[in-house]
């Protein structure tokens, strides 16, 4: 009986490790990462991160919002152009910023098993912003942050 329990324990651990390996690792917060020719950063947790002047240099800001307009995190964000996926990131925060060449892009966000897409045009100047809304997700809003 003890051998069976030990074998079952190790089989459970191996199964959990295999499942964890299949998930895309989450990006570290506030740390720019390069994928192919694209730089991305996962941010937006706390007012200091949201007001960081470094983020103004990114031509695209993807923001995730819930049913009451509150910021959402824990999302898989994929940027595509012309039907080709260029970058896919897992972000625990509500903002993903991208340094991209000007052009038309499609942004897909997966949050809690729900997928939404949006189209966005990135220009040569300024920052394009796309807010992807998930009206079926989210709880109470927090008064911690009120955008300027």
- pLDDT confidence tier of residue 56, bands split at 50, 70 and 90: very high
Strand order in the sheet with 103-111: 84-91, 75-81, 103-111, 114-122
**What pLDDT digit, counting tens, does each position of 112-140 carry?**
999 999 999 999 899 999 999 999 997 66
Q: What gap in Å lies between CA 96 and CA 86, rounded to an integer?
A: 14
Residue 31, pLDDT score: 95
- Indicate whether 38 pLDDT > 90: yes
- CB atoms closer than 10 angstroms to residue 75: 26
What are the Cα distances from residue 107, in Å, to 97, 104, 129? 12, 10, 11
Residue 69, pLDDT score: 86
**Tokens (6 digits) for 45:** 């947790």
Give the residue carrying structure tokens 């031509």: 59
Residue 17, pLDDT score: 33
- CB atoms closer than 10 angstroms to residue 27: 21
Supply the pTM of this predicted model: 0.77
Residue 129 main-chain phi, psi, to 5 deg? -130, 130
- Domain parsing of the chain, residue ranges: 26-133
What are the Cα distances from residue 32, in Å, to 60, 82, 115, 120? 14, 25, 25, 21
With a pLDDT cut of 90, the percent of the chain lying above it is: 66
Residue 141, pLDDT score: 56
What are the Cα distances from residue 50, in Å, to 43, 88, 147? 7, 22, 9
The helix or strand, by DSSP H or E, that contains position 22, with its residue range, turns out to be helix 2-22
- pLDDT confidence tier of residue 142, bands split at 50, 70 and 90: low
Please answer whether residues 127 and 60 qualify as being in contact, where contact means their C-beta atoms are separated by less than 8 angstroms: yes
Q: Looking at residues 74-101, what average pLDDT do you find?
A: 95
- Indicate whether 12 pLDDT > 70: no
CATH 2.60.40.10 fits 26-133, yes or no: yes
């Amino acid at each position: 009986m003890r051998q069976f329990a030990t074998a079952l324990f190790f089989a459970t651990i191996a199964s959990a490790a295999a499942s964890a390996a299949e998930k895309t690792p989450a990006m570290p917060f506030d740390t720019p990462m390069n994928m192919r020719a694209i730089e991305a950063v996962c941010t937006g947790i706390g007012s200091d991160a949201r007001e960081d002047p470094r983020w103004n240099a990114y031509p695209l800001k993807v923001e995730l919002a819930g049913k009451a307009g509150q910021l959402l995190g824990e999302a898989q964000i994929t940027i595509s152009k012309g039907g080709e996926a260029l970058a896919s990131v897992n972000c625990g925060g509500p903002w993903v910023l991208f340094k991209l060449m000007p052009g038309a892009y499609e942004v897909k966000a997966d949050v809690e098993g729900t997928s939404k897409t949006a189209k966005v045009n990135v220009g040569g100047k300024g920052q394009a912003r796309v807010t992807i809304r998930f009206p079926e997700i989210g709880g109470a809003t927090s008064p911690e942050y009120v955008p300027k």
